């Protein structure tokens, strides 16, 4: 079973996930909104600041413009005075406007009439021709000309501002403005700690910056995206729109930028703040949100752990407890004190465990008991088996009875036992075998046998039932016997006697005794009853066997006598018979003189009778040999063809005499046979002889062929046939079909039975097919090779060595 400990983790996971995801989602939404708002706010702010700054710069320039205008007015005086006045005006301008480094007056033709400078020496009436210069031309056309930013000494940004004025001495006032002073305006623009403002001209060149050194280096910012967007807006193409106010600074870092343009000049003012700084409040807020989130998560985790723990623990305790109980530790109790259904469940488990424990104990006890009983029963069965085995394996009554009494004593748990045989004639119990019986006691019961009705066994026998003596000392009746003192002295107190009965007849007894006053339980009594029955059986078997043995011996003797007798008798019978036949033949051969026809007839009949008698005697002898099992086959190789031929030759004359046609058909290429040729010849002769004898007219056929690795010989005649009921009987001894015809035909009636025996001894078969009136067909099969002749019962004789 896989160990699963995931409940706690599941709870924790679920809780943490739920709470955590809620917290995170909320936090993220807040952050996003905050970010978005912040960004928008910052950009707005930048833009405002830029607009303000633009406005201030424009104002600054316009101020200067105004101041210049102030000095750009016709002076209604004489020329010299006018020039002087103008000079004073210009000096006043220089004083007022620190940005103006130089201011000059060009006349209407563009010739310089006056130049007042901070650095250079003032020049009056130099008449330098500036008519082709943009500061003159621009002013003349547009009234006010704002020149492009240029750098003096490669480092100082300057701008020309010129304006036209009308009136006498009209002309153009051109001033050179040092734009470094714009820095003052720009540097006051503060956008956060790291924020700054700067101004670029329409080319994107830096004119003013918080860090003036950048200006002095003529920095070109036209590559920055926000600058590009602004200057293209100024140019009017306005195609590029800056994305959400995010630009880049020179280092490539992101900045928030707002810009505004200063129209007449075409400058662009930028107010920027590094994105990192701009976002720092946002980052702070993110951090704090994250910190809070993390704290919240942490608390959630802790809470979840605690909660999950408190939820999972009782369940785990239940699981562990149930596992323990399930594993068999039934004395374990589950401790759950949650005061809810879980506690109830635990209590249920505990009560279940208690019950299980009790029932186990009970069960164990019962099992132990049963096991004991079973063991006992098994022992008994084993003993019985042993006894049965003994019974069936040995006919030695002593051995069997000893086994019985030994086992009986062992299994009944008694001290000893004895088996008695009952001698009916004397009505006495004689001990046959004993187990653990003292010599003294055995001698006592042998010397003075117990009589019927005496002692335990006597009474048991009388009652035809087991008899118990619980305590020898107690039972008065028992005290009367001569055995009691001995028993008491030997220490025995109680005994049980079983009568051995066969069909209500007493054949003996089985007695067992104990040292203590045993109460022989029903089981023991039954057990001993079984043993008693076994003993009876054993005795009976022994007796039967004895009888059978005797009878067998008698039979054997009888058979021996008979054979001996027959052998003797046949010899005795044959001798005079041979004499009769011999002499008869002699007489017929006229050895003793002529013999008259009448006498010849008589003598011929005499000879015939004699021969018949001789045949009968031979047959009887043969049959008795066969029956005694003394007929043996002498096996050798033979040719069936020859056998048939010999028989044919033998009966040829006889058939001719009766006018029967005799035919033989022998299949060519018959194999060589292996068997008793003489006996086979006898069989065939018997069959053919019978055929001829019983057929009045017609023919007799002899066929010999091979069939299924055996010779098949068929003798068929056209005789009267044999009715079916008789067909089996004819093979029995001394039988012919019809006793009347027997007498007519002669024959002993032995031939077919002998033939049958011989055929079967070869391992073949013989049968007859016949239809009354149509004739008979006698067939027999003889295996080609007869290796082991069979015994006279038809069983294979395994001991036969093939004589």
Partner 1 sequence: MKHREIALSILLAFAILAEQPATNAQQTGKVYRIGYLGITTSGFETDPRHCPIEGSPNWQAFIGGVRDRGYIPGQNLAFDCRWTEDQDDRAAPLAAELVSLKPDLLVVNGTYLVRAAKRATSTIPIIMYGVIDPVGRGLVSSLAHPGGNVTGLSDSLAEMEGKRLQFLKEIAPNVSRVAVFNRSNRSEIWRRYLDASAQALGLTLQDYYVKGPEEFVNAFAAMTRAGEEALYVVPTGLWEMGDSPQRMVEFAAQSRLPATYQNRRFVEAGGLMSYCVDEPAIRRRIGIYVDKILNGANPGDLPVEQPNSFKLIINLKTATALGLTIPHTLLILADEVIQ
Binding site for partner 1 (CB under 8 A): 87-88, 91-92, 94-95, 98, 117-123, 153-156, 178, 180-181, 212-213, 216-218, 284, 287, 291, 294-295, 298-299, 301-302, 305-306, 309
Task: State which residue, 120 or 141, has the beta carbon closest to partner 1.
Answer: 120
**Residue 493: helix, strand or coil by DSSP?**
coil
Q: How far is the CB of 76 from partner 1 (least distance, A)?
A: 19
C-alpha atoms less than 13 angstroms from C-alpha of 753 in its C-beta half-sphere: 21
Task: State which residue, 11 or 267, has the beta carbon closest to partner 1.
Answer: 11
Q: How far is the CB of 197 from partner 1 (least distance, A)?
A: 17
Q: How far is the CB of 120 from partner 1 (least distance, A)?
A: 6
Q: How far is the CB of 251 from partner 1 (least distance, A)?
A: 13
Q: How far is the CB of 188 from partner 1 (least distance, A)?
A: 16
C-alpha atoms less than 13 angstroms from C-alpha of 700 in its C-beta half-sphere: 28
Task: State which residue, 55 or 212, has the beta carbon closest to partner 1.
Answer: 212
**Phi, psi dihedrals of residue 98, rounded to the nearest 5°:** -60, -25
Rounded to the nearest angstrom, the gap between the alpha carbon of residue 568 and the centroid of all alpha carbons in its chain is 83
Task: State which residue, 8 or 648, has the beta carbon closest to partner 1.
Answer: 8
Task: State which residue, 119 or 653, has the beta carbon closest to partner 1.
Answer: 119
Q: How far is the CB of 118 from partner 1 (least distance, A)?
A: 6
Q: List, as one string, the DSSP characters of 642-686.
A: HHHHHHHHHHHHHHHHHT-EEEEEE-TTPPPEEE-HHHHHHHHHH
Q: How far is the CB of 128 from partner 1 (least distance, A)?
A: 14
Q: What angle do CA 244, 249, 253 make, to 5 degrees?
A: 80
Task: State which residue, 83 or 334, has the beta carbon closest to partner 1.
Answer: 83
* Cα separation, 253 vs 247, whole angstroms: 8
Percent helix, strand and coil across the chain, each rounded to 5?
55, 20, 25
Phi-psi region of 262 (alpha: psi -120 to 50; beta: other; left: phi over 0): beta
Per DSSP (E only), the strands in 44-195 are 100-107, 112-117, 123-124, 144-146, 150-152, 156-165, 171-178
Task: State which residue, 8 or 583, has the beta carbon closest to partner 1.
Answer: 8
Residue 633: count other Cβ atoms within 10 Å of its Cβ: 21
Distances in whole angstroms, Cα of residue 336 to Cα of each of 322, 326, 423, 520: 12, 18, 82, 56
Q: How far is the CB of 97 from partner 1 (least distance, A)?
A: 11
Give CB contacts under 8 A, 24+ apart, made by 476-483.
Answer: 481/450, 481/454, 481/455, 482/444, 482/448, 483/441, 483/444, 483/445, 483/450, 483/455
Q: How far is the CB of 98 from partner 1 (least distance, A)?
A: 5
Q: How far is the CB of 15 from partner 1 (least distance, A)?
A: 13
Task: State which residue, 120 or 365, has the beta carbon closest to partner 1.
Answer: 120
β-pairing, 196-200 vs 156-165, is unpaired
Q: How far is the CB of 283 from partner 1 (least distance, A)?
A: 11
* Cα separation, 390 vs 106, whole angstroms: 161
Find residue 416's DSSP bridge partners. Answer: 513
Distances in whole angstroms, Cα of residue 410 to Cα of each of 53, 388, 497, 564, 627: 128, 16, 16, 56, 52
Burial class (CB in 10 A: 0-12, 13-18, 19+), 589: exposed
Q: How far is the CB of 107 from partner 1 (least distance, A)?
A: 21
Task: State which residue, 313 or 333, has the beta carbon closest to partner 1.
Answer: 313
Residue 199: count other Cβ atoms within 10 Å of its Cβ: 27
Task: State which residue, 18 or 361, has the beta carbon closest to partner 1.
Answer: 18
Q: If you search the block for the tokens 């010899």, which residue do you land on?
A: 571
Q: If you search the block for the tokens 């069989």, which residue do you land on?
A: 683
**Residue 209: helix, strand or coil by DSSP?**
strand
Task: State which residue, 30 or 240, has the beta carbon closest to partner 1.
Answer: 30
**Residue 449: helix, strand or coil by DSSP?**
coil
CB 212 within 8 A of CB 198: no
Task: State which residue, 182 or 759, has the beta carbon closest to partner 1.
Answer: 182
Q: How far is the CB of 83 from partner 1 (least distance, A)?
A: 12
Q: How far is the CB of 236 from partner 1 (least distance, A)?
A: 32
Task: State which residue, 102 or 677, has the beta carbon closest to partner 1.
Answer: 102
Burial class (CB in 10 A: 0-12, 13-18, 19+), 378: exposed
Q: How far is the CB of 209 from partner 1 (least distance, A)?
A: 12
Task: State which residue, 217 or 375, has the beta carbon closest to partner 1.
Answer: 217
Task: State which residue, 1 or 119, has the beta carbon closest to partner 1.
Answer: 119
Q: How far is the CB of 135 from partner 1 (least distance, A)?
A: 20
* Cα separation, 111 vs 98, whole angstroms: 25
Q: How far is the CB of 326 from partner 1 (least distance, A)?
A: 26
Task: State which residue, 157 or 499, has the beta carbon closest to partner 1.
Answer: 157
- 83: Cβ contacts below 8 Å, ≥ 6 apart: 113, 114, 124, 125
Per DSSP (E only), the strands in 403-504 are 416-423, 428-435, 450-451, 467-469, 494-502
Task: State which residue, 123 or 699, has the beta carbon closest to partner 1.
Answer: 123
What are the tokens at 327? 């594993």
Cα–Cα nearest to 677, from 714, 711, 705, 723? 711
* Cα separation, 611 vs 618, whole angstroms: 10
Distances in whole angstroms, Cα of residue 616 to Cα of each of 26, 245, 441, 611: 134, 152, 69, 8
Task: State which residue, 89 or 676, has the beta carbon closest to partner 1.
Answer: 89
Q: How far is the CB of 14 from partner 1 (least distance, A)?
A: 16
* Cα separation, 364 vs 367, whole angstroms: 5
């Amino acid at each position: 079973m896989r160990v699963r400990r995931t409940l706690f983790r599941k709870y924790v996971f679920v809780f943490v996930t739920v709470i955590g995801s809620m917290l995170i989602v909320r936090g993220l939404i807040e952050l996003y909104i905050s970010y978005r708002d912040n960004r928008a706010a910052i950009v707005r702010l930048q833009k405002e600041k830029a607009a303000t700054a633009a406005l201030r710069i424009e104002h600054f320039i316009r101020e200067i413009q105004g101041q210049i205008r102030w000095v750009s007015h016709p002076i209604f005086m004489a020329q010299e005075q006018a020039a002087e006045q103008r000079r004073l005006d210009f000096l006043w301008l220089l004083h007022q406007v620190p940005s103006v480094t130089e201011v000059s007056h060009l006349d209407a033709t563009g010739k310089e009439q006056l130049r007042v400078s901070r650095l250079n020496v003032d020049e009056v009436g130099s008449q330098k021709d500036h008519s082709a210069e943009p500061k003159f031309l621009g002013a003349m056309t547009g009234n006010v000309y704002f020149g492009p930013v240029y750098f003096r000494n490669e480092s100082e940004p300057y701008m020309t501002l010129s304006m036209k004025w009308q009136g006498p001495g009209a002309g153009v006032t051109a001033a050179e403005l040092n734009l470094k002073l714009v820095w003052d305006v720009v540097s006051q623009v503060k956008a956060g700690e790291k924020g700054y403002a700067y101004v670029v001209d329409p080319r994107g060149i830096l004119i003013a910056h918080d860090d003036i050194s950048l200006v002095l280096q003529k920095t070109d910012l036209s590559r920055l995206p926000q600058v590009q967007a602004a200057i293209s807006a100024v140019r009017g193409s306005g195609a590029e729109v800056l994305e959400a106010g995010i630009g880049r600074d020179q280092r490539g870092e992101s900045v928030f930028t707002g810009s505004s343009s200063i129209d007449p000049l075409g400058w662009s003012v930028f107010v920027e703040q590094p994105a990192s700084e701009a976002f720092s409040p946002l980052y702070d807020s993110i951090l704090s949100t994250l910190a809070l989130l993390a704290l919240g998560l942490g608390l959630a985790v802790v809470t979840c752990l605690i909660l999950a723990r408190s939820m999972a623990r009782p369940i785990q305790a239940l699981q562990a407890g149930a596992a323990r109980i399930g594993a068999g530790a039934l004395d374990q109790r589950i401790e759950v004190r949650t005061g809810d259904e879980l506690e109830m469940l635990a209590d249920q488990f505990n009560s279940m465990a208690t019950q299980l424990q009790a029932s186990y104990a009970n069960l164990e006890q019962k099992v132990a008991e049963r096991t004991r009983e079973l063991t006992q029963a098994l022992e008994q069965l084993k003993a019985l088996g042993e006894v049965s085995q003994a019974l069936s394996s040995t006919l030695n009554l002593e051995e069997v009875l000893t086994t019985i009494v030994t086992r009986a004593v062992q299994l009944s748990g008694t001290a000893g036992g004895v088996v008695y045989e009952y001698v009916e004639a004397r009505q006495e119990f004689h001990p046959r075998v004993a187990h653990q019986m003292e010599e003294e006691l055995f001698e006592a019961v042998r010397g003075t046998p117990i009589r019927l009705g005496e002692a335990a066994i006597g009474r048991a026998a009388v009652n035809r039932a087991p008899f118990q003596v619980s305590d020898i000392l107690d039972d008065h009746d028992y005290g009367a016997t001569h055995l009691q003192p001995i028993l008491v002295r030997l220490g025995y107190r109680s005994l049980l006697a079983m009568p051995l009965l066969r069909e209500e007849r007493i054949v003996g007894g089985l007695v067992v005794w104990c040292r203590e006053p045993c109460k022989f339980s029903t089981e023991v009594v039954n057990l001993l009853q079984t043993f008693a029955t076994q003993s009876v059986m054993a005795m009976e078997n022994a007796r039967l066997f004895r009888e059978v043995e005797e009878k067998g011996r008698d039979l054997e003797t009888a058979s021996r006598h008979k054979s001996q007798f027959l052998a003797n008798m046949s010899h005795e019978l044959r001798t005079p018979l041979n004499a009769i036949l011999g002499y008869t033949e002699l007489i017929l051969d006229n050895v003793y003189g002529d013999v008259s026809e009448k006498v010849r007839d008589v003598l011929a009949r005499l000879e015939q009778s004699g021969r018949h008698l001789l045949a009968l005697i031979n047959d009887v002898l043969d049959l008795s040999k066969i029956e005694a099992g003394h007929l043996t086959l002498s096996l050798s190789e033979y040719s069936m063809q020859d056998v048939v031929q010999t028989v044919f030759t033998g009966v040829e004359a006889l058939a001719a005499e009766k006018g029967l046609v005799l035919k033989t058909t022998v299949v060519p290429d018959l194999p060589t046979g292996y068997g008793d040729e003489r006996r086979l010849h006898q069989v065939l002769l018997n069959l053919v002889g019978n055929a001829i004898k019983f057929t009045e007219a017609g023919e007799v056929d002899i066929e010999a062929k091979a069939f299924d690795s055996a010779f098949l010989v068929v003798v068929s005649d056209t005789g009267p046939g044999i009715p079916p009921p008789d067909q089996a009987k004819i093979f029995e001894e001394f039988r012919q079909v019809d006793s009347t015809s027997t007498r007519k035909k002669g024959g002993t009636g032995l031939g077919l039975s002998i033939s049958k025996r011989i055929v079967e001894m070869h391992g073949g078969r013989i049968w007859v097919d016949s239809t009354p009136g149509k004739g008979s067909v006698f067939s027999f099969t003889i295996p080609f090779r007869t290796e082991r002749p069979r015994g006279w019962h038809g069983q294979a004789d395994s001991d036969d060595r093939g004589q």
